Amino acid sequence: MIGRTLLCGNVIRTPLKFSDERKLMKPIFKACGHAMITAVINAFLAVALMLMVEFAISGTFQVAEPYLWAGFLIWIVIFGGQFLRQRHLCRCAEQNGDTQEG
């Protein structure tokens, strides 16, 4: 069926070829990588700040479970926002013909 045109009602659909699928997935993988790096760095910095405040208040350096959960929650929120942002930027750059590697 690849390469043939399908007729579904009034809409003519052409199936995606493998090269088309790779072009669609490349911005998503690129955005995922950028978002992952940003989220990990920000979550690490947030947990480090929480531990420094804990040390300043109590005088002991203890990694409490709520700090780890807070870091994980921060990672999820930042990853979601950065993924959507980076995906949008990658798609816009691809539509404009900008082929920035890296």
The per-residue pLDDT for 6 is 46
The per-residue pLDDT for 30 is 79
Cβ 87 vs Cβ 28: under 8 Å: yes
Distance from chain centroid for Cα 91: 13
The per-residue pLDDT for 8 is 47
Max distance between CA atoms of the chain, in angstroms, equals 72
Question: Is the pTM value of this prediction over 0.85?
Answer: no
The DSSP 8-state label assigned to residue 11 in this structure reads E
Residue type, 102: G
The per-residue pLDDT for 7 is 46
The per-residue pLDDT for 45 is 92
Relative to beta strand 11-13, strand 6-8 is antiparallel
pLDDT digits (tens, 9 = 90+) for 34-86: 888 988 999 999 999 988 998 899 888 777 888 889 989 999 999 898 888 88
pLDDT digits (tens, 9 = 90+) for 21-45: 666 677 778 778 888 898 899 999 9
Average pLDDT for the chain: 76
What are the tokens at 24?
């669609």
Cβ 64 vs Cβ 54: under 8 Å: yes
The per-residue pLDDT for 5 is 47
What are the tokens at 86?
């980076």
